[in-house]
Structure formats: C-alpha cells, structure tokens
Amino acid sequence: MIYTVTLNPSVDYIVEVEDLVLGGLNRMKRDMKLPGGKGINVSRVLNQLEVANTATGFLGGFTGGYIEEWLRKEAISSDFVHIADDTRINIKLKAGEETEINGAGPEIAESETELLLHRLDALLPGDIVILSGSTPPSLGGDFYSRLIALCKQKGAEFVIDTTGQALKEALAQGPLLVKPNHHELAELFGVTISTREEIITYGRKLLEGGAKHVLVSMAGEGALFISEQGVYHAGAPAGQVKNSVGAGDSMIAGFVGTLSLTGDVLEAFRAGVASGSATAFSDDLADRQKIEELRPHIVISQL
C-alpha cells in the first residue's frame, strides 16, 4: 500500500483578474477552489493511475471538510486526523504573473499528533509512505524525522519531498526517492547551478548521501533521473503550459505508482515525466487520459 502524508494541507483559492490594481477594486475574471497540499496532490494523481493509496495527515474546520468531501467524490481512500483548528487557505492570484499568499497552518495539539503516529503504526514491510510539503510551525522541526523513524521501524519505504534541513536529515535514512527541482537542488547545496553537468554533479551527491533514486525536474528542459544504474534524461513534451501547481507532485505519483506496479525504474521515470507534464498542461491535476496521451512521447536517453 502507498500512503501519502500531508501535514499542512490547504484549500487553494485560485483567483484570476485581468489587471491588478493595488489599493483599488478588482473584479475576478475566474476563480477555482481546489484541495491543496503536496501529498493530497500525489494521492489524486495516483488515483487517476489506478494505484491503490490512502491519504492521511491533518484536516480541520470547514476547509478540512471541503477537502475531505472532494476526496470522497473522487473515490480516494483517506484516513485523516481531525483537528480542532482550521485547515489553511492558500491564495493563488493570477494577474499576468502568479502571486501566492500561503497560510502558515493550524495549531496541532500533541494529542492530535499522537493520533497520526497511531494511524501509521499499521504500516507493513513493503509499504511506501510519501512525505510531502511543509509542516505547520506547531509541529516543530523534527516531525518528519519522527515519521521516518516509524517507517524504518515498520520496514516501510519512504519518499521525502521537502527542502532544506528536513531533506538533508532524511537522506541518511535511505529514501526511496527525492525530487528537487534544479532551483531547490542549488539552494540545498548553497551553490549556483547553470548547466546540466552541474545538476548531475549535485544530484549524485544526493545519491551519495543515501537516496536510492533522484529525480530533478528542469521545467521546459525536461527532467533527469539519477540512480546507481546511470543518469537518464527525458525531454519535456510539447504543449501549452497552463499550471505549475502540482506538476512536481504529479511526477512523484507517476514514478512511485508505476515503480510499485512494475519494478521498472525507467518506465517509472517515463510515467513520472508524463504525469508532471499532463498537470502542467491542465487547469487542475492530470487525468489518466492526458497522462496516457503523453506517455509515448517521452523519449529517454542515457547520458
């Protein structure tokens, strides 16, 4: 079983205006409300790929209810801890460029934290736990370490999709996959990266640090897959980019879901790039039809 953990989910309120006038009255051209949070995104795309999974984490208030009802309508299995505080709202303001205003996240009590740890106590050897996104400030900086320790104790694999110190600390525990984009990779090592060769150099450092597989997304330049068996590049397919939100999460879903079904890392890479691209070409996350349309167009070459 694959489990996705979203510690700080959101309702993403996407607002589009023609011309933003600061300090004046602006009228919406279009708006959407979508369930947000990186693990939730992964679960939604796994569901499109017909890969069994369970979404968990923390949800609270009317916003948490909105997310839970959306997942129910999409027939996604979920087992969230219900908290007293409200799940946050993130605003994505599109006016030419996109401006994001993200909420900090709810206060989570220690008793609520223990409930989530109890949920994951049912993990079995061979399960995969995908840990994605930010943590609410109330959880402290070491909560991912606690979850990883539980995964290791139960013999489950884990995927970590976060940045900074939390990612550095997770590497030594042998994550199944890490997936920085090229900007996050540079930030992680405190360097400037301007060439593909430099991306490969620092991607390999993630392998040396303990990761089993490394995916580095490079926007229009496609993606790199780095593992002990080699370095591979997949070009980005042609299409009109409509949406950057969730493309990386979709890539993780395509990779992990296909790897769990087939054991073939290159087919998993192909599915990851197809899924990420399908989301980039959509208003919301990728659907199965769009992923399958793109999959044959993903050309992989060994470097």
Please tell me what DSSP assigns to residue 221: G
The answer to whether 68 and 78 are in contact (CB under 8 A) is yes
As given in the structure block, the two tokens for residue 74 are 């999409």
Rg of the chain, C-alpha, whole Å = 19
> Would you name the residues annotated as active-site residues?
249
d(CA 203, CA 225): 9
Which residues are CB-neighbours of 9 under 8 A, at least 6 positions away?
A: 35, 36, 37, 39, 40, 57, 58, 59, 64, 67, 87, 88
Compute CA distances 193 → 186, 196, 197, 288, whole Å: 6, 8, 9, 34
d(CA 103, CA 185): 25
Which residues are CB-neighbours of 273 under 8 A, at least 6 positions away?
A: 222, 223, 234, 236, 237, 251, 254, 298
Please tell me what DSSP assigns to residue 87: P
d(CA 54, CA 222): 29
